[in-house]
Amino acid sequence: MMGSLQTEIAQTRPDLLAPPVAKALAVWPPEGPIDADQVLVAPIDSGLADTAAFCEAYGVSLAESANCVIVAGSRGGVTKYAACIILATTRADVNGVVRRHLDVRKASFAPMDDAVSLTGMEYGGITPIGLPVDWPILVDSRVVATPHVIIGSGVRHSKIAIAGPALGALPGAEVIDGLAREVA
């Protein structure tokens, strides 16, 4: 349990998950760094889904809270998307590290409508579990160094608790030093 969250095994609560997240958990690889039953979910007040409000209300530190931000970049008329997993105490280096990784001229946060329609998840709840398989998942090394983190569940009315190292081992994930910078 983290903070005051009442966690349950995520697979037993599909009502607390976006459909792509539930589907990804159903086919969780047995060789993964953790078993699927170690991915936990907790209901929350959807009005408190934004990171700062959530952490304050549920007693979770910002250092234990991870955000999944969707970035879009284009080159030659082709748009590429990536998910960046960073701690809430940091900001993704979108126009440096992420832009170079995607090999695009300019990168920015994906428009909300695009992020929602392409992921099948709610804005403010997007998570790396269940994203489109062709998207890279860029994970800041600080996240995998954190024993357990809270991330979105694909919906705003719950959060997932998971081992930080497991996020770096998701299919399509790459752990990157310096993906994010500490917020001053």
> What are the structural domain ranges in the chain?
8-182
In this predicted structure, what is the pLDDT of residue 1? 61
How many CB atoms are located within 10 Å of the residue 127 CB? 27
**Of 126, 159, 173, 113, the residue nearest 3 (C-alpha):** 159
* 8-182 placed in CATH 3.40.50.2300: no
In this predicted structure, what is the pLDDT of residue 97? 94
Q: Between β-strands 66-75 and 106-109, what pairing exists: parallel, antiparallel or unpaired?
A: antiparallel
Specify whether the CB–CB gap between 121 and 157 falls below 8 A: no
pLDDT in tens, 42-98: 999 999 999 999 999 999 999 999 999 999 999 988 999 999 999 999 999 999 999
**Residue whose tokens read 């804005």:** 123
- pLDDT higher than 90, residue 184: no
pLDDT in tens, 23-36: 999 998 888 778 99
pLDDT in tens, 114-153: 999 999 999 999 999 999 999 999 999 999 999 999 999 9
pTM of the predicted model as reported, rounded to 2 decimal places: 0.94
Query: Looking at residues 161-172, what average pLDDT do you find?
Result: 94
